[in-house]
Structure 1
Amino acid sequence: MIFLESPKTASRQERDSDQLVLSTAWKIVQDADYQAVTMDAVAISAKISKNALYHKWPDRAMLVTAAFAKYDQKAVSLRVPNGGHLERDFSQLFAALLPEINELSRPKFAGLVTERLEDVPVNQILSIGPGKDFQSVLMCILKRADKRHQIQLNQLSDNVLNLPALLLVNQIILGKHVTKKDLDQLITEILLPVYTASKIKWI
């Protein structure tokens, strides 16, 4: 799941201007918090017109997300796990996202995810780094599980396909520190029963 759109080719001056904007927004977050970021303040500090700022980043959630991806070491770049079993693949995927989840759960970032949800689907919230997006990784996992006859992929509704992202985003919104054990519990108590139920032929 990627927060950001693919960057277009830009001149060096544009890149320098973009970097100044992102570093300005990031400094405000670090000195205060996400709620302290305003587009007016960023435009003034970065010496850029508000029109140019809004053209590149339509709102502060997108702006701070871009800054997070550039400057925060907890931003995750996903790879497709290959544990040989649906439970292990889910566990590896969730473990990879754990640092990012806990970082975004900090009070400093309160409101960022909920504001971002106004513009993008829930399955585009996680994995801010430049790796594979969450949805494509999830679908690779599920296709492999389908080939192993652990699930029946064509029986899964969109609601079920969105469930992993929804559970993880909910952990961020709750604002509590999450452990790997917490995430593994979500897998064993919720995800596995729901996904493996797709093999049942309902009459």
Structure 2
Amino acid sequence: MVGDPEKRAGDGQTRRRGAVLEEAILDAAVAELTESGFSGLTMDRVAERARTNKNAIYRRWPNRLALGIAAYGRLARTVQPPDTGNLRDDVLEQLRRANRHWSSPLGSILRDLLSAAGGAAELVARLPDQSADAVAAPWLTILERAVARGEVAPEALHPRVATVAIVLLRNEFVVRGVPTAPDEVLVEIVDEVYLPLVRRRATPD
């Protein structure tokens, strides 16, 4: 008689279920994502690596994109925004960090996931560093410090205003398809767009 395949990790292997099996699948997906990128991530390879079957995976993640997003969540790390003592340097350093991330192997995975998700906001929101709140948080922190120092007016504290610089940088990668943004582009975003915008915010919307 054939037992529940989800409870068998393979011939001679200890049966796993629930959270233990889920951890094994995610560990396997992270390893595959790291080694092969999203384009090389397949349910077959993850199942083989986790020593389970595809049905066990599909019961938890309906498709390859959902699994890839969950695996990316294991790799992403939250970093505190810079605090250099002035707004321009904070914004430029935050952009440079983002540029390094988007240019890295992990950033390549992120770009592929965003491309696969298209405009599906509910999927993008599952990426730990790409939801609207997660994107806005460090930029609002930077602006809050600038307000406290008297560099900009409190009206600058608006999520859409705060995130203009990172949206423009993301467009370089997602829309234009550049492998990395030259530093002069980052400086241009800061000096020609971001700083003039936030400094003009003298009245609320």
- Give the TM-score of the pair, scaled to structure 1: 0.65
Matched, 1:119 2:121: yes
Give the match for residue 72 of structure 2: 68
1:192 to 170, 173, 195: 195
Match for residue 98 of structure 1? 99
Q: Distance in 1 between matches of 2:204 and 2:129?
A: 34
Q: Deviations over 1:41-62 (max 9, x none)?
A: 5456531554x53564455344
> SS state of the match for residue 111, structure 1?
helix
Name the CA distance, whole Å, in 2 between partners of 1:21 and 1:81: 35
**Do the aligned residues in 2 keep the contact of 1:123 with 1:165 (CA within 8 Å)?**
no
Greater Cα radius of gyration, structure 1 or 2: 2
Q: Does 1:137 align with 2:141?
A: no
Q: Cα distance 1:124–1:30, how it changes in 2: closer, same or farther (>3 A)?
A: closer
For the aligned residue pairs, the C-alpha RMSD in angstroms reads 3.8
Give the Cα–Cα distance (whole angstroms) in 1 for the partners of residues 123 and 170 of structure 2. 11
Q: Distance in 2 between matches of 1:170 and 1:26?
A: 26
Query: Residues 171 and 127 from structure 1, CA distance in 2 versus in 1: closer, same or farther, beyond 3 angstroms?
Result: farther
* Structure 2 stretches lacking a partner, 5+ long: 1-15
Q: Which of 178, 181, 186 lines up with 1:178 in the alignment?
A: 181
User: Could you give the per-residue CA deviations for residues 82-134 of structure 1, whole angstroms, max 9, x where no partner exists?
Assistant: 1222111112222333332112554x665312234523497886748xxx944
SS at match of 2:121: coil
TM value normalised by structure 2:
0.65
Query: Residue 17 of structure 1: CA displacement?
Result: 2.5
Give the counterpart letter for 1:118 in structure 2.
A
Unmatched 5+ stretches in structure 1: 1-11
**Per-residue displacement from partner, 1:116-172 (whole Å, max 9, x unpaired)?**
4523497886748xxx94422211111122233332343565532332331232233
**Number of aligned residue pairs:** 183
